[in-house]
Chain A
Amino acid sequence: DAGVIQSPRHEVTEMGQEVTLRCKPISGHNSLFWYRQTMMRGLELLIYFNNNVPIDDSGMPEDRFSAKMPNASFSTLKIQPSEPRDSAVYFCASIIQQGGNYGYTFGSGTRLTVV
């Protein structure tokens, strides 16, 4: 199993540009989560999907952020337009619940730098 795959690993972009982060969850996992990690705020849950449907997007900071999950094997997090304060590491995680054994698996993250 290749685990949760995120791309790109690193992204440097100029302020105002559109950024798209990608995630491929583990096959068979039915929930997907996007987290943002910064020194100041730690790990923040942005949005999560269950069976490809967005369940809770209350953590999405503002309208510049959007996320989609068109199918069970792919999700995107888009920032348009990007701002320097969006610089962070963005993690994707997927999960399958089996009798209380919560199998959360995280990707390696995308380090975003907006200059």
Chain B
Amino acid sequence: GNSVTQMEGPVTLSEEAFLTINCTYTATGYPSLFWYVQYPGEGLQLLLKATKADDKGSNKGFEATYRKETTSFHLEKGSVQVSDSAVYFCALIIQGAQKLVFGQGTRLTINP
């Protein structure tokens, strides 16, 4: 089946630290990959996406590269800010399908 596995949280970093949140997937078809972010008390917002192998999605300083050979889509940011504190979800959708499959989420806390 289709599934997404994220690194366990919570993750706590100091401001300006380098961030990596690991995400790997299994898919029966050819997936598009996403990172969503959920700020406290809010719904999920699309952070970035990649629709084919070797694509790099980027937004707000975050990046993730679609690695088909390792079935991964790790999220990175070079210098985190306190405002990046949120829960991050990796997700996939099989092209031609409609259901978005989420990982379990990783809670990130950035301390000043």
Q: Do A and B come from one complex?
A: yes
Residues in chain B within 8 A of chain A (CB atoms): 32, 34, 36, 41-46, 49, 51, 89, 93, 95, 98-100, 102, 104-105
The CA-CA distance from A43 to B91 in the complex, in Å, is 11
| B-chain residues with CB within 8 Å of residue A56 when the two chains form the complex | 99
CB–CB B42/A108 < 8 A: yes
| A-chain residues with CB within 8 Å of residue B36 when the two chains form the complex | 106
**In the assembled complex, A100 has its CB within 8 A of some CB on chain B:** yes
Residues in chain A within 8 A of chain B (CB atoms): 4, 31, 33, 42-43, 45, 48, 50, 55-56, 91, 93, 95, 97, 100-102, 104-109
Q: Pick the contact of A43 from B32, B34, B102 — CB < 8 Å? A: B102
Q: A104-B46, A109-B43 are in contact. Are A42 and B104 (CB under 8 A)?
A: yes
CB–CB A91/B43 < 8 A: yes
In this complex, what residue of B is CB-closest to A55?
Answer: B98
Q: A31-B98, A97-B98 are in contact. Are A102 and B45 (CB under 8 A)?
A: no
Beyond A42-B102, A104-B46, A106-B44, 10 extra complex contacts between A and B, CB < 8 Å = A42-B104, A43-B105, A45-B100, A48-B98, A50-B98, A97-B98, A100-B95, A106-B36, A106-B45, A108-B42
* Contact count A vs B, C-beta below 8 Å: 46
| B-chain residues with CB within 8 Å of residue A102 when the two chains form the complex | 32, 34, 49, 93, 100
Shortest Cβ gap from A47 to chain B (Å): 11
Q: Pick the contact of B99 from A45, A97, A100, A108 — CB < 8 Å? A: A45
The CA-CA distance from A101 to B93 in the complex, in Å, is 11
| B-chain residues with CB within 8 Å of residue A43 when the two chains form the complex | 89, 102, 105
In this complex, what residue of B is CB-closest to A30?
Answer: B98
